[in-house]
Amino acid sequence: MRYFTDCHTAEDVKHQFRENAKKYHPDLGGDPEDFKAMYIEFEKLWSRYKNIHRNAEGETYERETTETPEEFANIINTLVRLQGVHVELCGSWIWASGNTQPYKDTLKSLKFRWAHKKKAWYYHTEPYRKRSHRELTLDEIREMFGSQSYTAKAEEEKKLKAVV
């Protein structure tokens, strides 16, 4: 594998796809052929690891997912362009916070839902089920599933505008 190394879970694959999308996406100054090749590797790895997950303690577990690589790629390709939006992968959830107000309609079109108490948007393929009577905070979710995050910076936005 050229673009993905040391992947063992769906979260590893998603994390590396997000990093690669920022690096190789044609709208951000990357080569379209590199992006296509990276995407082909992503699809192969996704089919292999989509049901293998890791919790915050590093333990792996299996849970079937209905998410497709196309859905995830579309979400990440859109999110990398949203300046000032903080994106966080927590297990199989995607959380978006920060400067989301200008992008409200975009997030809704990606099937994100607003979590009022957390003041953040979330995307998850399965229906939300509470584990207990007490709702978890984002910090508790991060502790439980681990977290990988980024915020689209003004420099990336300048690259995008320079290409257009």
Higher pLDDT, 56 or 107: 107
* Interatomic CA distance for residues 7 and 27, integer angstroms: 26
Q: What is the number of other CB atoms lying within 10 angstroms of the CB of residue 48?
A: 13
User: Interior CA angle at 72 toward 87 and 160, to 5°?
Assistant: 60
pLDDT tens-digit profile of 107-155? 999 999 999 888 999 998 765 555 555 677 888 888 877 787 777 654 4
Residue 3 to residue 34: CA distance in whole angstroms: 9
How far is 95 from 93, CA to CA, in rounded Å?
6
pLDDT value at position 164?
A: 43
Q: What is the pLDDT of residue 155?
A: 46
pLDDT band at 102 (very low <50, low <70, confident <90, very high): very high
Contact yes or no for 46/10 (Cβ under 8 A): yes
With a pLDDT cut of 70, the percent of the chain lying above it is: 87
Mapped onto helix, strand or coil, the DSSP state of residue 5 is: coil
Q: What is the pLDDT of residue 64?
A: 85
Tally Cβ neighbours within 10 Å of residue 89: 21
pLDDT at position 127? 55
